[in-house]
Structure 1
Amino acid sequence: MSQFPQQNQSPHQNEWIAPPLQAAPLGLTVQQAPVRTFVPPTEGERIWSNNITYFIGRIIDSGAFGTVYECVDEWGNELAAKVISPQSQTYEQVRAIWHAELMSLLYLRHPNITYVHAAFEFRDTFYIVMERCAMTLSAILLAPGLNGELWLPHVARHVLHALHFIHGSGYVHKDLHAGNILVSHQRDAMAPWKDPVWQFKVADLGISNLEGNIRQSGSIVAQWIMPPECLNHSEFGAVGRHVDIYHVGLLLLNLIHNKELHFGRQDILDGVPRQLAEAHSSPYAPAIARALRRHVSSRTQSAIELWREVSATAASLRSQQT
């Protein structure tokens, strides 16, 4: 439990400093601003909003922007509750972050994007309650004996379908990596003995932007998936939706290598990811290599274009097996 700092307070201070009182006309009093206190939930706790109780479980994940907890509502839905972390920001700043992510989730509703069930403030703490997925693509890449090439067309179809919708709505995700691709298990409640249907979903729209609002320099992109144009846009081209195409190329490159690959800044500038794709024997390698070209103008231009290449390759492989 911690108090939000005031806007002009040092991030190293923990105490809320109320704004100074202003002079008031005779006979009137000035009300002090309320103290806002961040209160994260604990395992086993109940919280509520809109007359619905949510039962908080264990922590699933934690990152720079928040912590995600297992959660079940009174309807019996298995959910995930994301709590936005203050990170030494003011109450108003945290609320703005929460509101921006919520608006993206509400606007970008698609079968291959994680679905938001509720969003609310409880005890000065901001929640986004979403569907809970079974695992991430990272977990699949860590599985022993993985044959990523078999998974590739299914992952590509779902992720690129979501991406086509995101781009068509004028947004860029900017943070597509294996940890942000979730695996949803859709079960039949009337036939629970049946195997679940697997579906891949794009998650974490926290740093997504309208394409026209993206800064060409200093745009927020995770260091380990930094595309060339974010390192040198004057040489490689403008920062925009092609960032997401490059990120999908990295995802698919991981799948044909059956593991998560990591590249440094110089690797990206030298085109090492594309070179690895070109040297691979997978039938999908040429499409992946085009998605990983350093220069934006030479890269695959859209999600549907990349899907058409992957789909054609998958169809060719099926025809060879019959």
Structure 2
Amino acid sequence: MKLRTIVTQSTDLEYFVSPKGSVRCSIKNWQKGDFLGSGSFGTVYEGFNEYGFFFAVKEVSLLDQGSQGKQCILQLEQEIFLLSQFQHDNIVRYLGTDKDDGKIYIFLELVPKGSLANLYQKYRLRDSQVSTYTRQILSGLSYLHDRNVVHRDIKCANILVDVSGSVKLADFGLAKATKLNDIKSCKGTPYWMAPEVVNNKKNKGYGPAADIWSLGCTVLEMLTGQVPYSHLEGMQALFRIGNGELPSIPKTLSEEARDFILKCLQVNPNERPTAAQLLNHPFMQTPGSMNSSPVSPLCGGIRSQRFQ
């Protein structure tokens, strides 16, 4: 099974683009390092090239697996096509591709602290931290939605964080360019899936508002340390979502956080705010989230805990 020209052309890439500049090197002269995780249709490893640069490598098998293999190739082509066009601080940077016998490698910016899912398993996230992260997620989503792209798999496991507190949207294997609300396929992860996605056979399609529902579930996930509908099996969760039942939102959350989540979790997608509108929500004004640089609010938080 072969990829179309969009992928094979990229093997001629001569420059490795680091987050701080470009360095001439052979994209093929690299070593595979530690396992980092699994994404849609691929496994992610750390990579290391001959000039000492580290990066992430998404490895995907191209071996013929029937209809599933063909679907994998189509989604891989879609992911590479979209990622190669994006240039935004809150979207993981695409660096190129390589291939060998039976495998394609997608090179991506390495975001060293892993996903937000890993983070909340280690630390209890507070409003100021979640607000800082969410503001950046919204910035990335606004960029995508302005370009008529729906991510379709927003969740903590697909959002990466670096040592400065900067977060980046990742795993675009299910992302799709759309015109208005013309997406018909049911794609995503059950616990974060919007009602119109679950009920897509009843509807005329869906669009960017589906990402906003998923964002509300993601904020809830960060604040509670649990996936939404965590007490249910996947199919049970889909049934409840399809019937318009919201996930449990603890009353212990702050008023601003609860209101933000509820704004995202409007069953009618037409009643959900856009990503740009949500940037003006009071929860985004939490102390520490206003500064556009993620370094300052985090450092500020450290000072206040020590000296007040």
- TM bracket (short chain): 0.7 to 0.9
| Other-structure match for 2:195 | 228
Name the amino acid aligned to 1:176.
I
How many residue pairs end up in the alignment?
Answer: 261
Task: Tell me how large the CA RMSD over aligned residues is.
Answer: 3.2
Check 1:295–1:176 CA distance in 2 against 1; reply closer, same or farther (3 A cut): same
Matched, 1:108 2:86: yes
TM (norm. structure 1) is 0.71
Q: Percent identity?
A: 21
Check 1:208–1:317 CA distance in 2 against 1; reply closer, same or farther (3 A cut): closer
Q: Tell me the CA shift for residue 216 of structure 1.
A: 4.8
Question: Which among 202, 205, 216 is matched to residue 249 of structure 1?
Answer: 216
Name the amino acid aligned to 2:82.
S
| Other-structure match for 2:260 | 287
Check 1:307–1:80 CA distance in 2 against 1; reply closer, same or farther (3 A cut): same
Question: Which among 251, 260, 264 is matched to residue 227 of structure 2?
Answer: 260
Check 1:101–1:288 CA distance in 2 against 1; reply closer, same or farther (3 A cut): same
For residues 43 and 59 of structure 2, what CA distance do their matches in structure 1 show? Answer: 5
Check 1:215–1:154 CA distance in 2 against 1; reply closer, same or farther (3 A cut): same
Is the partner of 1:107 in helix, strand or coil? coil
Q: Tell me the CA shift for residue 214 of structure 1.
A: 6.9
| Other-structure match for 1:308 | 280
Question: Which among 133, 137, 140 is matched to residue 159 of structure 1?
Answer: 137
Q: Tell me the CA shift for residue 239 of structure 1.
A: 1.0
| Other-structure match for 2:65 | 88
Q: Would you say the 8 A contact 1:277–1:288 is kept in 2?
A: no
Check 1:316–1:57 CA distance in 2 against 1; reply closer, same or farther (3 A cut): closer
Higher relative contact order (CA 8 A, sep 6+): 2
Matched, 1:68 2:49: no
Q: Tell me the CA shift for residue 230 of structure 1.
A: 1.2
For residues 94 and 141 of structure 1, what CA distance do their matches in structure 2 show? Answer: 30
Q: Tell me the CA shift for residue 298 of structure 1.
A: 1.6
TM (norm. structure 2) is 0.74
Q: Tell me the CA shift for residue 274 of structure 1.
A: 6.0
| Other-structure match for 1:58 | 34
Check 1:183–1:294 CA distance in 2 against 1; reply closer, same or farther (3 A cut): same
Q: Would you say the 8 A contact 1:283–1:313 is kept in 2?
A: no
For residues 203 and 174 of structure 1, what CA distance do their matches in structure 2 show? Answer: 11
Name the amino acid aligned to 1:71.
G
For residues 316 and 88 of structure 1, what CA distance do their matches in structure 2 show? Answer: 49
Check 1:209–1:277 CA distance in 2 against 1; reply closer, same or farther (3 A cut): farther
Check 1:281–1:240 CA distance in 2 against 1; reply closer, same or farther (3 A cut): same
Is the partner of 1:83 in helix, strand or coil? strand
**Residues 79-128 of structure 1, C-alpha deviations (whole Å, 9 max, x = no match):** 11111234714887665443321111111221111111221222342111
Moved over 6 A (4+): 90-93, 234-237
Q: Would you say the 8 A contact 1:141–1:260 is kept in 2?
A: no
Is the partner of 1:142 in helix, strand or coil? helix
Matched, 1:199 2:166: yes
Check 1:237–1:316 CA distance in 2 against 1; reply closer, same or farther (3 A cut): farther
For residues 275 and 137 of structure 1, what CA distance do their matches in structure 2 show? Answer: 20
Matched, 1:135 2:102: no
**Residues 187-243 of structure 1, C-alpha deviations (whole Å, 9 max, x = no match):** xxxxxxxxxx22100001111111139765433222222210012247777411001
Check 1:299–1:92 CA distance in 2 against 1; reply closer, same or farther (3 A cut): closer
